Structure 1
Amino acid sequence: MTQNIPEIYGSLVFNDKIMRSKLPKDMYKALKKTIENGSHLELDVANSVAVAMKEWAIENGATHYTHWFQPMTNVTAEKHDSFISPTGDGQVIMDFSGKELVKGEPDASSFPSGGLRATFEARGYTAWDPTSPAFIKDGTLYIPTAFCSYSGEALDKKTPLLRSMDTLNKEAVNILHILGNKEVKHVSTTVGPEQEYFLVDKDLYNKRKDLVFCGRTLLGAPAPKGQEMEDHYFGTLAPKVSAYMHDLDVELWKLGIPAKTKHNEVAPAQHELAPVFDTTNVAVDHNQLTMEIMKKVADKHGLVCLLHEKPFEGINGSGKHNNWSMSTDTGVNLLDPGKTPAENIQFLVFLMAVIKAVDEYADVLRISVASAGNDHRLGANEAPPAVVSVFLGDELTEIMKSIENDTYFTSHGAVQMDIGAKVLPHFVKDNTDRNRTSPFAFTGNKFEFRMLGSAASVANPNIILNTAVAEALRQFAQELSGVPAEEMEHAVHELIKRAIRKHKRVIFNGNGYTDEWIEEAEKRGLYNLKSTPDALPMWIDEKNIKLFTDHKIFTKEEIFSRYEIWLENYSKTINIEANTMAEMVQKDLLPSVMTYTEKIAAAASAKKAVVADISTACEASLISKLTALEEKMASGVEKLKADTATALATEDPLENAKAYQSVVLEDMEELRKAADAAEILIPDALLPYPTYGKLLFSI
């Protein structure tokens, strides 16, 4: 069915066009002032907006509203209230006030707080974020909100994100004014998060306890074919996948989410969706919504969308590339080098601020993507290593060298590509190649942070990026403050030269997958925080506490609460995986092995009964192999259960996480080896769960 895309795009969003048509002019102007300048929203404006929002929502079939927020769980939360208000005569009216718009009161006691709230202290508040548009979904008006405790601590991801956007705006505008660009009044960070995912058949999914409970397979021998033929990447879309992607696009477009690109990814059954960039907090909201809609649309197509970072062993996992940049209210992308980047002082200052920020706060950037799932993916020759480095490309690297050494930079100019066939058009070659092994790569007019896992909220990395870059800009502004205009160019040149010499260790344009780079990174003094328990203690390092408290992104209490939540989340994740694996092996796989062994033994006995001296060497060999694997699995399950219980009883949060990482995960790995070896020997009809071959090649 043909869709009129401009007509349906944003049709379920209370966007600027709707606000302009529904609100009185003075109220519309007041709301726009709040959205664009962050000024205080008066109650009369909130009341006017609430009435307009309610009328529009009801016109579009909504009966309820909800304050939609992002607690520290990687998923969103919502409590639905109807618009009805009894009139006392057995009738109701549809009502929605400004007070209900701007403030909600969900129970805060059951969300992760890391000790900020006692269990018996239930009150929490949600506060409307007017910079992120409300929308309608499933007959409910969704109002994006921040979430805080009764005493004001941030219990969510939106609040610190908005704080970080404010601090970057302040520092970026300040240094632009110092550089002579007085026209700029506001700087926004923008993000376009690419989203990788797997699609599997729903019936097969429901037969896998590990996928249902953990989002990833804990057992499973490789299929005869994986991704080695390199034929799935950008390949022809299967009809069922194409139909899913079409419906997904339509649902996202209705919600004003600018889904742009879709294609097959490297691994079988793996795909990608990429949107057009948006203001950071809106992009974060959109990505959370995208992940939810992806799963709902998949269900309607008899599929399941897997967002785990590593759902299948032996093939690529799924990431989420965070394309990040900065733009002014005058329409300038501050990371656009222009045609002559060597002469673009403004660009070089902001570029160097990002490099400095990544070098000085690489540890917290690594932490921003840390999770039990992502640990399986980072450094696995499918994703960047756990070492954070910056890729600049040849031209920018040469410019940096020329500034550092006070030499003249000679641009090679634009190069036309001539592929050889006369019928093909000529086109201008990009000034640098792309480096898919780099964790933090400059890609023309933005940086692509490639370490994020597929299931992660993009809030955390952008909180870190915004704050770290703001701190770098603040320090640059201190150095340049008071410099006369006629001396500014020289002062900036010297500032950049000093910064390059101090931070060039983080620049690496080579292959990040090699062991040689890991060795080189260690020599350069770069962090290699391989696992989540290795990384998380750096979160409470004094320099990082100072960064976040100085810029008022987090209080010290909020910092420590997140440290505790993340450690607990890591341990709980592996605990669930260990329990699931033990159950699958003990209750499902071992009985299958025993059943098959009995069948083989019966077959051997039947043969002997017919021909007494016939050979049963094949049956005997198979029985011996299965019995040996059965014993390994039985002892492996008992060891896993015992070590999991020991880890669970460890009270210190960090030691608890380390016990799961160093002991329980190792037990799981050993148990899997035996289980997968047994799986290969058992006929599919006797296996208790679908194989990788069926899961990955059934659509």
Structure 2
Amino acid sequence: MPSEIFGINVFDDRVMRQRLPKEKYKELKQVIDYRLDLNRDLAEVVANAMKDWAISKGATHYTHWFQPLNGFTAEKHESFIRPMHDGGAIMEFSGKMLIKGESDASSFPSGGLRQTFEARGYTMWDPTSPAFLKEDKSGVTLCIPTAFCSWGGTALDEKTPLLRSVKAISNQSLRVLRQFGEYTVKNVKTNVGAEQEYFLIDADIYKHRMDLVLSGRTLFGAKPPKGQEMDDYYFGLISEKISPFMSELDEELWKMGVSAKTKHNEVAPCQHELAPIFSVENIAADQNQLIMETLDKLAARHGLKCLLHEKPFAYINGSGKHNNWNLATDTGLNLMNPGDNPYDNAKFLVFLCAVIKAIDVHAGLLRVSAASAGNDHRLGACEAPPAIISICLGEELTNVLKKISGDIGEDDVVVDDMKRLVDFGVPSLPMLYADASDRNRTSPFAFTGNKFEFRMIGSSMTISWANTILNTIVASVLDEFATRLENTTDFDNEITSIIADTYNNHGRVIFNGNGYSDEWVEEAVRRGLPNYKDTVECVKELISDKTIELFEKYEIYTAEEMHARYEITLEAYNKRRMIEAKTMVIMAEEQIYPAVNRYVMELADSVKVLEKVFDCTCAQKKKLKEYCSNIDRFQRSTDALKESIARIEEIHDEYEKAFKIKEEMLVIMDQLREASDELEQSTDLNQWPFPTYCEILYDIQA
């Protein structure tokens, strides 16, 4: 039963209550709930209880589990064993070991914050995220979620800034709530539910695609006759090949306390989705990393390969990570949920306006939170939102803001407070209350009733980075609103003024229509909204004066840390693109060209044979001529790509290199792929050197 195994591998509240002395349990709960400092005496007691619990579950090692700036997680395993003088050994785990570990800080991306000879880095226990056990073929390991910083205290991970941003938004939210008379609230939490999309393909096929193995996506591949246009895969029957994998995935995640709730086939063939229930933000971020790790690990057990690249296949949907976000008090109040009375509605509208203004003022910064080489291929098509940042509120809520702002027009319909009943016209089906607004799949940032859904994050990306930015920009506006409310002598009028000012000055970011339409692109330009189409266009937002001032004010990042982020983003982009380009050259020269050369010789030989038998071989000669022409185009593009790689490798400035890759190298890569895909469509499938889209997506053998 799921209820019997859920959380059995987590050192959660149930275990702490059972294994810790009553007073120490209360003390630790205070540390966790109110993010207080952890003293050494308490750490010793917790460490001993945690060790005994882990060993009772079969653990022999522990690791400080952290999120360096490469998008993955990292862990160094240490055994509990301590040798004794008499030749025996004891199992030891002290408070010092729990609180702090040490790792090589120069071997992870640092953007210049660390030099090769500056190796010392520290991992520090995050008591707000529970420890858990990992089970695999190597045994059982106690994993302790930690932050990671350099010897000098500089953040080298995703968790540290996220925790700082959670503190910032809680502090500013409390200031606003105090003005509404909410004095029992002690902290405000950001809750996140991150949906995870992914592809599953046959592991043997994966091994025969060099591009998938080395770059995570198919660099070559002709369009198959059937894609997703029949809408037959979405929510379809989960195949018997995939179902055992999904069942084991659920069980593994449930054991580690991840509330995997929903699983289904997504729109594209071989694409699937998993969605957990909301968690407190830093726990949700840790659990999303666990989801990605577990997807990859379990897929291998089932003879499958999990692809988390944002666009592993052209012509069909890419994969995203829809980040559902809201604010809630420790008393259980969802601040993103409209209330039942004017008092609660006013409070809701103030927090709503804080989000609207934050998204408009810092649109470029939010855009860069979803920027990567992989996501550049995904955004703007096939159900992925466009690169233009906008908010979908729905007509009802938009018109409420218009009415308060005095901007209601004759064509605007203000819906009353009564919920609308939907009658399906079938007596046996119940009538249902409709939501206040429809869902908008083309909106990058949509209000969905009691939360916002940020749909731009790529499937392989950590959610920590985007949520750090989202928390910080909203905190900055709440700071401004709190100051206005604290200094006003007319509270009700100031609320109205805040709402009106927000809509009149930042309502341009609200768009409830089709984000894919050409009309919206033109309208966005008229509204003055930025349209950063790719990573290279938006990356400098990270080091703008406005961005650095924002993060320094709320002590999220220093200027030095932001410049490091900028360098890391560019380095990751450039390295990934260069891997893709070099892989294309290898595949072109060592796989595709030999195959098509053999096939063209067969065509030529067949023409010679036919000429001896028949007077006319026009069709065969025409095909041979066209095929040779495509080979020539293919070879020219291959040579051009090699030359482009050589030129770009001589560039030392990372931004200049990225710009050259985007403007020159990617264009040539597209030309090479086009030439190759034409050859694929006219070559004997038995001679094509690697699996085609039909084989990968539909298991159709040549």
TM-score by length of 2: 0.97
The answer to whether the aligner puts 1:192 opposite 2:193 as a matched pair is yes
Partner Cα separation in structure 2 for residue 457 and residue 393 of structure 1: 29
CA–CA separation in structure 1 for the residues paired with 2:543 and 2:299: 40
Contact 1:404/1:500, CA 8 A, preserved across alignment: yes
Aligned to 2:567: 564
1:517 equivalent in structure 2: 520
Give how far 1:605 is off.
2.7
Deviation at 1:426, TM superposition (A): 1.1
| Counterparts of residues 519-538 of structure 1 (less than 5 Å) | 519-538=522-541
- Name the counterpart of 2:590: 587
- Which string of whole-angstrom CA distances, capped at 9 and with x for unpartnered residues, describes residues 484-514 of structure 1? 5xx3122211121111111100000000001
Answer whether contact 1:169 1:187 (CA < 8 A) is retained.
yes
Q: Does 1:452 align with 2:457?
A: yes
Letter of the aligned partner of 1:281 in structure 2?
N
Q: Choose from 456, 472, 477 the match for 1:472.
A: 477
RMSD: 1.4
Partner of 2:47: 50
For 1:648 and 1:26, how far apart are their aligned partners in 2? Answer: 61
1:406 CA drift (Å): 7.7
Structure 1 distance, partners of 2:323, 2:342, is: 23
Separation in structure 2 between the aligned mates of residue 118 and residue 353 of structure 1, nearest angstrom: 40
Shift of 1:476: 0.4
Aligned residues: 692
1:181 is matched with 182
* Corresponding residue number in structure 2 for 1:631: 632
Q: Corresponding residue for 2:580?
A: 577
Partner residue, 2:120: 123
CA distance in 2, matches of 1:415, 1:446: 20
Amino acid at match of 2:376: D
Report percent identity of matched pairs: 52
Residue number in structure 2 paired with 1:361: 362
Separation in 2 of the partners of 1:225 and 1:390?
Answer: 34
Alignment of 1:497-516 (within 5 A): 497-516=500-519
Residue in 1 aligned with 2:437? 432
* 1:431-486 per-position Cα deviation (integer Å, ceiling 9, x unaligned): 211111000000000000001111010011100110000000000011111335xx
Aligned partners of 1:342 and 1:399 also within 8 Å: no
Give the structure 2 partner of residue 248 of structure 1.
Answer: 249
Change in CA separation of 1:680 and 1:479 when aligned onto 2, cut-off 3 Å: same
The answer to whether residue 328 in structure 2 is matched with residue 322 in structure 1 is: no
Using the alignment, how far apart are the partners of 1:245 and 1:686 within structure 2?
35
- Letter of the 2:551 partner, please give it: F
Instruction: Choose 410-419 or 86-95, whichever is displaced more.
Output: 410-419
Look up the match of 2:663: 662
Cα offset, 1:616, TM superposition = 2.7
Unpaired segments ≥5 residues, structure 2:
none
Confirm or deny: 8 A CA contact 1:342 1:409 kept in the other structure: no
C-alpha distance in structure 2 between counterparts of 1:575 and 1:600, whole Å? 35
The SS at the match of 2:326 is strand
SS at match of 1:520: helix
Distance 1:410 1:315 in 2: 38
Could you say which residue in structure 1 is the equivalent of 2:351?
Answer: 350
**Partner in structure 1 of residue 76 of structure 2:** 79
Structure 1 position 602, deviation (Å): 2.2
8 A contact 2:203–2:300 mirrored in 1 = yes
* CA deviation map 1:657-685 (0-9, x unaligned): 10111111101000001000000011221
Provide the rounded CA distance (Å) in 1 between the counterparts of 2:236 and 2:69. Answer: 37
Residue 11 of structure 1 contacts residue 256 of structure 1 at CA under 8 Å; is this kept in 2? yes
Q: Which moved more, 1:596-605 or 1:201-210?
A: 596-605
- Of residues 496, 499, 504 in structure 2, which corresponds to 1:496? 499
1:140 match: secondary structure: strand
Shift in Å, 1:242: 1.6
Equivalent residue for 1:88? 85
Counterparts of residues 223-238 of structure 1 (less than 5 Å)? 223-238=224-239
Superimposed CA distance per residue, residues 185-232 of structure 1 (whole angstroms, 9 cap, x where no aligned partner): 110001000011111011101000000000000000011110111111
1:372-451 → structure 2 map (5 Å cutoff): 372-405=373-406, 411=416, 413-451=418-456
Q: CA offsets, 1:621-675, max 9 Å, x none?
A: 2221221111111111111011112112211111111011111110100000100
Indicate the residue corresponding to 1:306 in structure 2: 307
Q: Distance in 2 between matches of 1:666 and 1:698?
A: 31
Distance between the aligned counterparts of 1:617 and 1:93, measured in 2? 85
Report the alpha carbon displacement of residue 354 of structure 1 after superposing the two structures with TM.
Answer: 0.4
Shift of 1:339: 4.1
Mapped partners of 1:411, 1:505: distance in 2: 24
User: 1:304 aligns to what SS in structure 2?
Assistant: strand
Matches within 5 A, 1:256-267: 256-267=257-268
Contact 1:49 1:98 in 2 (8 A): yes
* Preserved contact between residue 592 and residue 688 of structure 1 (Cα < 8 Å): yes
493-502 or 349-358: bigger deviation: 493-502
Residue number in structure 2 paired with 1:114: 111
SS in 2 for 1:125: strand
1:286-318 deviation per Cα after TM superposition (whole angstroms, max 9, x unaligned): 000100101111111111110000000111101
CA distance in structure 2 between the aligned counterparts of 1:492 and 1:172, rounded to whole angstroms: 15
Cα pair 1:439 1:451 within 8 Å, conserved: yes
Q: What secondary structure, in the 3-state scheme, does the structure 2 residue paired with 1:93 have?
A: strand
CA distance in 2, matches of 1:145, 1:70: 8
Q: Return the letter of the residue paired with 2:269.
A: P
Amino acid at match of 1:555: T
My pick for the range that moved more, 323-332 or 173-182, is: 173-182
